[in-house]
Amino acid sequence: MAVHPIDYRYGSEEMRRIWDEENKLQKLLDVEAALARAHAKVGNIPEDSARVISERANTKWVKVERVKEIEAEIHHDIMAVVKALSEVCGEHGKYVHLGATSNDIIDTANALLIKESLEIVKNDLKEIRSILKNLAGEHKYTVCIGRTHGQHAVPTTYGMKFAIWLDEIQRHIDRIDELKERVLVGQMSGAVGTMASFGSKGLEIQRLVMEDLGLKPARISNQIIQRDVYAELMMVLALIASTLDKIALEIRNLQRTEILEISEPFGKKQVGSSTMPHKRNPIRSEKVSGLARVLYSNVIPALLNNPLWHERDLTNSSVERVILPESFVLLDEMLKSMKKVLSGLKFFPKNIKSNLYMTNNLIMAEPLMLKLTEKGMGRQEAHELVRQLAMKAFYENRDLIDVAMGNKDVRKFLTEEDFESLKPENYIGMAPRIVDNVIAWIEEKERKEGR
């Protein structure tokens, strides 16, 4: 019976399959097989034994149920795998796990699981990147109100919003590539990391095993891969989650009834509320923001796993059984939900324009001040004058430009043509070019990836 929602509600089948019991067992067996092949190559065991161990180190021969039976008797997870594999290898089973300690197998297998998982995460990020690139290009001239402190500030464009997110998503793709250099490492170094159990061939055996598995060998370890590596992984996953949370939060705010400039897609038969039939709730975005909180919380135990007693203790093990699959599966759910939201994003142009003009041109205070400065008024004098005019416009519920046109001090500097130019649509600065620059940079990244 499933208990945790990652078993039945969250994440794709592809991601869940990576972290299911059978695949995790298979990765442990893959490491044991690679170790046997390495021993054979350096002359420590017969080649026939390495062949048999390799052939039978899979879940067709070694069953999850059998491993559990043995573990229930001996209370040691990896030794249960070793015994189950040895059983099916007959006389060749005496060479299984030769010279290794448990975490040689666990940590190296974890690297294989993380490798598969990061590929899914990276591919999803690339798809989100493509969606955002298209949105940024399509909306680089869609002028909207910018908000600071939750208040109307000055105009910006939706292209700028999307390009900001696009730029950030690319940084996460880069972070994953950089992270792989440090996290996709394995070890075959024996108890406390000295390789004494492998004799003079220890470094060669470790190199052969990692080459076989497509991993880098750890430069140094004690009995485990050092957990700063796992902590960094968890922080990168949480950082990706924070970007998705940021995007979701903005969409949720912009979908509020009082704003309603954009909204996430809503299906024809979708139900928004069990009691209020009219509701169109941003449930996907809310789910993304909610799940992000779990990923943030998983960073703390990952950090606590780094300081262990002496060469190691076991306090990290139970934690990692939870936070590794949980974080990857939940992030997978967040990424796929965000793809659906962004690809089906709905715009409400009338509301975008209405909100832009909601404050009766108070948002044109800055360009009005700058126009006065341009025409010869001192900057500080212009700021104070426009501040007074803005307060007057606000309390009298009048248009700022109309109030300014009736002020004799303003009239000394500005013409009718100047007033005519003071429109929100004219005050977006270099926004379109900034967006174009981001898109060009992303396209260059894509070209390099395609080589």
* Inter-residue contact 38 to 199 (CB < 8 Å): no
Which candidate in 149, 274, 278, 310 is catalytic?
149
Q: Among 160, 138, 156, which residue's Cα sits nearest to residue 146?
A: 156
Instruction: Give dist(CA 371, CA 183) in Å, integer.
Output: 55
* Torsion angles phi and psi, residue 194, rounded to 5: -85, -10
- Do 6 and 18 touch, CB atoms closer than 8 A? no
- Cα 354 to Cα 280, 360, 387, 397, distances in angstroms: 21, 10, 24, 16
Of the residues 4, 76, 273, 297, which is catalytic?
A: 273
273 is known as an active-site residue: yes
317 catalytic residue (yes or no): no
User: ∠3-75-30 over CA atoms, to 5°?
Assistant: 80
Please state, in angstroms and rounded to a whole number, the distance separating the CA atoms of residues 415 and 329: 61
Closest CA to 352 of 131, 155, 140, 149: 155
- HEC string of the chain equals CCCCHHHCCCCCHHHHHHCCHHHHHHHHHHHHHHHHHHHHHCCCCCHHHHHHHHHHCCCCCCCHHHHHHHHHHHCCHHHHHHHHHHHHCHHHHHHCCCCCCHHHHHHHHHHHHHHHHHHHHHHHHHHHHHHHHHHHHHCCCCEEEEEECCEEEEEEEHHHHHHHHHHHHHHHHHHHHHHHHHHCEECCCCHHHCCHHHHHHHHHHHHHHHHHHCCEECCCCCCCCCCHHHHHHHHHHHHHHHHHHHHHHHHHHHCCCCCCCEECCCCCCCCCCCCCCCCCCCHHHHHHHHHHHHHHHHHHHHHHCCCCCCCCCCHHHHHHHHHHHHHHHHHHHHHHHHHHHHHCCEECHHHHHHHHCCCCCHHHHHHHHHHHHHCCCCHHHHHHHHHHHHHHHHHHCCCHHHHHHCCHHHHCCCCHHHHHHCCHHHCCCCHHHHHHHHHHHHHHHHHHHHC
Catalytic residue annotation: 149, 273
